[in-house]
Amino acid sequence: MILRFSFNYLSSSLIYEKIILKTLALFSLDSKLVKNSDELLLYVNSDDSDELESFANRLSLELPHSIFLHNTDVKVVDEMPQESFILPNVPKLSMAFCPKCLREVMDEADENYYNIFHKCEVCGYDVEGEKKSYKEEFVNLAKSISSGLVAEVNTFYGKYYLGKIDKKCSDVDFDIVSYDLATLSHYTNATNSEIAALGAIEKPFVKLKTNIKFKMDFEDVADELIRFKLPDDFVLHLLLCELHKLGINLIFITKEKLLSDVKFDLVEYEKEQEPIEAVVGDNHIAIVRGEKGLPHQNLSNSNDLIPHIGAFFSVIKEHSLFDKTVAGLNISKEYHNNMLIYSKKFGTIEYLSFGFEFSSVKDVFDSIISSNESGKKLVENFKNKFPEHFEAISAIAFNEKEFNVYKLWGIVAIVLGYSKETNLTKAAKVLEESASLFLGTKGPRIDYKLKRVDSKVYIDPLMTIRTAMSFKLAGVDKLTLSYGVVESFVEFISSQFDDIKDEMKSDAVVATGSLLQNRHLFSKLSKEVSINHNLYFNKELPIDGKNILYGGNELF
């Protein structure tokens, strides 16, 4: 009988391939491993059904969950393939521990019990150290942290400062490492999809709202979005195991230097690597930033060196879509925003631009007043209800080289009184984070409309600002209205893609840009657009094109 195991695996890390080949070596099975783009296929043949079952059970124990694994399947087939995949000789990745290593390091009867220098051809770090149990060292470190001390700790990929979450971390930007997924579920609003991603072998950071309340001398952590992750190397894992025994299941971790009481430098890491951060929807996962556990990629393309074009084509190249008609969305916070269409027949065209221009808040109000009588009445009502606020913000001038969707949100945040910042990017962040804190299911419908200037189509920013002002006058609260601004934008984008599909017969949709890191926006975009389109994001590259190399030159 021939069994075919199929894995839809969107990573070039070779972790699955290594584990499969390592597991096959334990059995006397006729086998072939085949790799077709994103499809990894394993064929095993044997007349002994018990051996096949034993292999399948063992493989299920050895293969970790991955954020890049989308579908799996097993079926009986008639023939073995002729060719087989040969594992290339590539540099080893800095990966989190695999299931086999974790079992051995946590097994008191194993020679690698509490040995952080456990060697493994799949996930092992190329850092030398004495092979022994470091149980006592971790017990002592955990006791120090439990007593309230800050520790300076070397992990396998960098130096960090960590400790109990209290006022000592009030002056630095910090993340939180959790002992397990049950703790994460208890203290955050993580969805099932986010929990699954947090538990994957890549151990990504995921930005979440927390319900943690602390009696501190600084603002409650529960009022912020915090990045959470599980331990992603044995130093952090074994430390959290010992802290768990002392009743501590969460610690802060930061790269910012703190006055430390304890040094823990058993590991001499070879180079620093930034852990990855991911944004997670029910249908898709995308990398926000970071490099740890990801293979280096060079997407050489000398045809275009414009940032938003480069990000667009990076997705097309990763997913081999050059023979398709592709509609694209770029919503970077920094760069030009637009919707593009690519086809081999006619090249690349800009379908819709999100560019606009205002010199000041007064210019915005004047433009609304001059648009029509209802616009004039809206501004009058707004001025009468919020006279001091209206006068204060009217003096704000904009010094922007280019406007985009994010900066439109910044104008909305200033006009609605959500931010006192005059910098549009900083003001937009207030609205964006307010939307992320919204726990409801539906916001007010904010207008995103189109206007044509000469032969080009643009978004009409006035309609967005006007409807937001109307809901502010109606008394809609900050979180709900902020979410409505984000939600309505996604609904607008989805309808635009539907129109493109009807008019241009597009085969696929790609989306890029740092604005995708907003979990509400990403989740809703993933869900809404996937209904009628094949939607693609970067596989192993950041969503905004940072670190993409074109022609050997780093652009972003």
Residue-wise pLDDT tens digits, 230-289:
999 999 999 999 999 999 999 999 999 999 989 999 998 888 999 999 999 999 999 999
Least confident of 87-91, 174-178, 332-336, 345-349: 87-91
| Mean pLDDT of the region 35-59 | 95
pLDDT at 326 over 90: yes
How would DSSP label each residue in 478-511? HHHHHHHHHHHHHHHHHHHHHHHHHHH---EEEE
Mean pLDDT computed over every residue of the chain: 90
pLDDT score, position 92: 76
pTM for this structure? 0.89
pLDDT score, position 555: 29
The pLDDT tens digits for 120-162 are 888 877 778 899 999 999 999 999 999 999 999 999 999 999 9
Pick from 443, 447, 518, 445: nearest CA to 479: 443
| Mean pLDDT of the region 13-28 | 94
pLDDT at 91 over 80: no
How would DSSP label each residue in 22-43? HHHTTS--EEEEEEETTEEEEE
The pLDDT tens digits for 180-237 are 999 999 999 899 999 999 999 999 999 998 888 754 444 444 456 899 999 999 999 9
pLDDT at 48 over 90: yes
- Residue that wins the pLDDT comparison between 399 and 554: 399
pLDDT at 169 over 90: no
pLDDT at 511 over 60: yes
Letter for the amino acid at 278? A
* Phi/psi of residue 421, nearest 5 degrees: -70, 145
pLDDT score, position 303: 41
Is 3.90.870.10 the CATH number for 99-276? yes
| Mean pLDDT of the region 3-28 | 94
Is residue 105 within 8 A of residue 97, CB to CB? The reply is yes
**Per-residue pLDDT band at 298 (split at 50, 70, 90):** very low
What's the rounded Cα separation, in Å, for the pair 165 and 251? Answer: 6
Collapsed DSSP state (helix, strand, coil) of residue 343: strand
* Tokens 């937001």 belong to residue: 468
pLDDT score, position 218: 42
**Edge-to-edge strands, sheet with 326-330:** 449-453, 456-460, 347-353, 338-343, 326-330, 508-512, 535-536
pLDDT score, position 124: 77
| Mean pLDDT of the region 470-492 | 97
Considering only the top CATH level, what class is 361-494? alpha beta
| Mean pLDDT of the region 378-404 | 95
pLDDT score, position 545: 60
| Residue boundaries of the structural domains of the chain | 2-77, 99-276, 279-350+508-521+539-554, 361-494
What's the rounded Cα separation, in Å, for the pair 272 and 91? Answer: 16
pLDDT at 297 over 80: no
| Mean pLDDT of the region 525-532 | 95
Topology alike, domains 2-77 and 99-276: no
pLDDT at 6 over 60: yes
| Mean pLDDT of the region 377-390 | 97
pLDDT at 96 over 60: yes
pLDDT score, position 222: 43
pLDDT score, position 547: 42
Specify the CATH superfamily of domain 2-77: Ribosomal protein S10 (3.30.70.600)
